[in-house]
Amino acid sequence: MAVYTEVSDEALRAFLGDYDIGGLVAFRGIAEGVENSNYALRTDRGDYVLTLYEKRVDPTELPYFLGLMDHLAARGLACPVPVRGRDGDALRELAGRPAAICTFLEGVWPRRVRPDHLAPLGQSLARLHDASGDFPANRPNALGPKGWAPLLEGCRERGDEVAPGLVAELDGHLAGILAAWPAAGALPVGQIHADLFPDNVFFLDDAAGRPRVSGLIDFYFACTDLLAYDIAVCLNAWCFEADGMFNVTKARSLLTGYEGVRPLSLAERAALPVLCRGAAIRFLLTRLYDWTHTPADALVTRKDPLEYLRKLRFFAQAETAGALGL
Amino acid sequence: MAVYTEVSDEALRAFLGDYDIGGLVAFRGIAEGVENSNYALRTDRGDYVLTLYEKRVDPTELPYFLGLMDHLAARGLACPVPVRGRDGDALRELAGRPAAICTFLEGVWPRRVRPDHLAPLGQSLARLHDASGDFPANRPNALGPKGWAPLLEGCRERGDEVAPGLVAELDGHLAGILAAWPAAGALPVGQIHADLFPDNVFFLDDAAGRPRVSGLIDFYFACTDLLAYDIAVCLNAWCFEADGMFNVTKARSLLTGYEGVRPLSLAERAALPVLCRGAAIRFLLTRLYDWTHTPADALVTRKDPLEYLRKLRFFAQAETAGALGL
């Protein structure tokens, strides 16, 4: 579920009084999302999403996230736009939590990814990278290469409970990934989404019945990192079938869509395999950490770390972009 | 959470093709609700709620529930209206589950019940009872008096793990309740909601800032039983404060609101204390049963049975409606 904090009627009323967005018409919890509490909010002026930021979000980082959404929306990217209160502030407090209201985005996230989702996804990702080019703030990627060794340390004691020999295998993968990781300055850096899974991308059909991206959401892992790493996240998150097979057609469509907007350099293309290994170990490690640190009776869905072990192994045997079919 | 069944894009598209409600615009899981999967569905014609009925709902009973909502809405009660497909059927199938689309209701359920919610609640409940008077179908209350002894048997082995001596205490309460329960024919019978908790009642403020009921939802415990038993459920669900104290002001407002629409007979009023004990033991027993039969790691919020033990004890010492302040 994704409502961790309940909001009293009086608190909500007082909170909405700080905005000029009309009177309350409806207020429902949204099931999607695992980090924060999200509510669908309707006023007599329109639809919004109210987010209460829960404890895994660092409040000092919220201005970066909200500022980035504001910046991207001003440049025409379809993403939630933080709504400012009467005093001009978008980041406020409600029920003892940092909170913000953003605009509602139409669209449906794909429960099953089809090949024709990938080119529009790639185009949107490239537009995000282009639009964030002049964003003035930076946020280091806490879940980037420097964060992986500490995460693995945190899993050392109990990681093998998930699969025998897992920790030793990950030690080997991680050493290889870090040794091959692009040197500072070798690849273009900018603001990346860093978590562009299918449930963060809304689609609508165009008049011809083809899917187009209607919005990107959930910028709360966004950070400053290699632009091509965002592609590697998508190759992990969008291009494997349920049986674990890598779908080269989807991967090619993603790249083609992306390069239609922002062509990759030769260095970026050459780095894709190691970036894919990095993205695989990043999601593997956070899932493994949660798996080994979350009580089995917690009201949180623990995601399977081994899904990403299979992806990591696949990318580890693909030494070139050509071996990935790219 | 309240999304147990995921719906693929193709299945959703095919499903919507059986309706004449316009094209898909948005589709989000709703966090509220524990029995079924609920989605907020938007088309270019309006807003709807799509419900997939999960395994605790008996599919053969769905025509009763949907028919009752249809009947009540036709008589002016604000409740979800089942939307019929092109073939005239409202009850359909999606993702291997029985499924129905109903209209969306505006309003907000009260996270904290105020005294001024109670009179409008009472009015709405009485209107529901009046409007269902000529409903042609019946559904026995499986969670009524005849169901309580079997439920308690199911808790006998492990019930005392929740509180020492609990099962013996409940044996005593149940014998007393069943001995004092109104004889068949003694009180008016009709279609009741039977689960009218605050999260099933939406409110909006009128022009003067007073709450009015904008809709009643979740008719999936509705059944044919004593009308006054529905009041007893509300006295349990709406009239206790967080500290466990019974709020007589709220209880009086509920009754006053109800009787402004449908006056109670002397026999109904005299029966209220035992009906309240019955409603208390009904919610206590289902919670106790769930508590002792749900694995601790299940992704379901187990509700505290002891909240209703305190309510049961309170009603047990109040032998007359006067002792309840009514």
- Interchain CB distance below 8 Å, B40 and A28: yes
Q: Is the pLDDT of residue B300 over 60?
A: no
* H or E, element range at B206: none
Residues of A in contact with B106 (CB under 8 A): 25-26, 42
Q: Is the pLDDT of residue A8 over 90?
A: no
Radius of gyration of the CA atoms of chain A, in A: 20
| Furthest CA-CA distance within chain B | 59
What number of residues does chain B have? Answer: 326
Q: Is the pLDDT of residue A1 over 50?
A: no
Residue A241's closest CA among A163, A319, A307?
A: A307
A20 neighbors A86 (Cβ within 8 angstroms): yes
What is the least distance, in Å, from the CA of B206 to any CA of chain A? 11
- Interchain CB distance below 8 Å, B9 and A110: yes
- Interchain CB distance below 8 Å, A299 and B299: yes
What is the least distance, in Å, from the CA of B175 to any CA of chain A? 36
Q: Is A134 exposed, middle or buried (0-12, 13-18, 19+ CB in 10 A)?
A: exposed
Classify each residue of B206-219 as buried b or exposed e, where b means 16 or more C-beta atoms within 10 Å of its C-beta: eeeeebbbbbbbbb
Residues A92-144: tens digit of each pLDDT: 999 999 999 999 999 999 999 999 999 999 999 999 999 999 999 999 999 99
User: d(Cα A252, Cα A256) in Å, to the nearest integer?
Assistant: 6
Q: What percent of chain B has pLDDT over 70?
A: 96
Residues A143-198: tens digit of each pLDDT: 999 999 999 999 999 999 999 999 999 999 999 999 999 999 999 999 999 999 99
Over residues A37-58, the mean pLDDT reads 92
The pLDDT-based confidence of B31 (bands split at 50, 70, 90) is confident
Q: Is the pLDDT of residue A252 over 80?
A: yes
What number of residues does chain A have? Answer: 326
B221 neighbors B143 (Cβ within 8 angstroms): yes
What is the least distance, in Å, from the CA of A296 to any CA of chain B? 6
For chain B, domains (ranges, CATH) are 9-103 (3.30.200.20), 115-324 (3.90.1200.10)
Measured between CB atoms, does B6 come within 8 Å of chain A?
A: yes
3-state SS assignment for residue B27: strand
A vs B, Cβ pairs < 8 A, gives 87
Measured between CB atoms, does B7 come within 8 Å of chain A?
A: yes
What is the least distance, in Å, from the CA of A211 to any CA of chain B? 11
Q: Is the pLDDT of residue B65 over 90?
A: yes
Q: Is the pLDDT of residue A302 over 80?
A: no
A38 neighbors A49 (Cβ within 8 angstroms): yes
Q: What is the ipTM of this complex?
A: 0.78
The pLDDT-based confidence of B1 (bands split at 50, 70, 90) is very low
Residues B139-162: tens digit of each pLDDT: 999 999 999 999 999 999 999 999
User: d(Cα B284, Cα B274) in Å, to the nearest integer?
Assistant: 15
Residue A98 is encoded by which pair of tokens?
């940092």
The pLDDT-based confidence of A297 (bands split at 50, 70, 90) is low
Residue bearing tokens 């091959």: A180
Measured between CB atoms, does A14 come within 8 Å of chain B?
A: no
pLDDT at B324: 87
Residue B141's closest CA among B77, B203, B230?
A: B230
3-state SS assignment for residue A225: strand
Measured between CB atoms, does A20 come within 8 Å of chain B?
A: no
Residue A242 neighbours by CB under 8 Å, 6+ apart: none
Residue B235 is encoded by which pair of tokens?
């006295």
Sign, CA torsion B64/B66/B71/B75? positive
Count CB-CB contacts under 10 A for residue B289: 19
Q: Is the pLDDT of residue A301 over 70?
A: no
User: d(Cα B290, Cα A151) in Å, to the nearest integer?
Assistant: 37
B252 neighbors B326 (Cβ within 8 angstroms): yes
* H or E, element range at A70: helix A62-74
Q: Is the pLDDT of residue A300 over 60?
A: no
More confident residue, A292 or B311: B311
**Which of B7, B28, B112 is the closest to A8 by Cβ?**
B112
Q: Is the pLDDT of residue A296 over 70?
A: no
User: d(Cα A40, Cα B92) in Å, to the nearest integer?
Assistant: 27
Measured between CB atoms, does B297 come within 8 Å of chain A?
A: yes
Mean of all residue pLDDT scores within chain B: 93
Over residues B38-64, the mean pLDDT reads 93
Measured between CB atoms, does A108 come within 8 Å of chain B?
A: yes
Residue B82 is encoded by which pair of tokens?
């089942």
Residue B66 is encoded by which pair of tokens?
């949907």
Count CB-CB contacts under 10 A for residue A261: 15
Residue B197 is encoded by which pair of tokens?
């908790």
User: d(Cα B26, Cα B47) in Å, to the nearest integer?
Assistant: 9
Residue A146 neighbours by CB under 8 Å, 6+ apart: none
Q: Is the pLDDT of residue B12 over 80?
A: yes
Residues of B in contact with A2 (CB under 8 A): 1, 31
pLDDT at A319: 82
pLDDT at A231: 98
Q: Is the pLDDT of residue A214 over 80?
A: yes
Q: Is the pLDDT of residue A72 over 80?
A: yes
- Interchain CB distance below 8 Å, A24 and B108: yes
* H or E, element range at A226: strand A223-226
B31 neighbors B49 (Cβ within 8 angstroms): no
Residues of A in contact with B210 (CB under 8 A): none
- Interchain CB distance below 8 Å, B111 and A8: yes
Residues B169-221: tens digit of each pLDDT: 999 999 999 999 999 999 999 999 999 999 999 999 998 989 999 999 999 99
Residues B227-258: tens digit of each pLDDT: 999 999 999 999 999 999 999 999 999 999 99
**Which of B7, B30, B31 is the closest to A111 by Cβ?**
B7
Residues of B in contact with A32 (CB under 8 A): 28-29
Over residues A226-250, the mean pLDDT reads 97
Q: Residue A1: closest CA among chain B residues belongs to which residue?
A: B1
Residues of B in contact with A27 (CB under 8 A): 108
* H or E, element range at B38: strand B37-43
Over residues B311-321, the mean pLDDT reads 92
Q: Per mean pLDDT, which range of A168-172, A281-285, A292-296, B140-144 is the poorest?
A: A292-296
pLDDT at A271: 97
Residue A238 is encoded by which pair of tokens?
């969008």
Mark out the alpha helices in chain B (DSSP H runs).
9-17, 62-74, 115-131, 145-155, 166-180, 227-238, 248-261, 266-293, 306-316
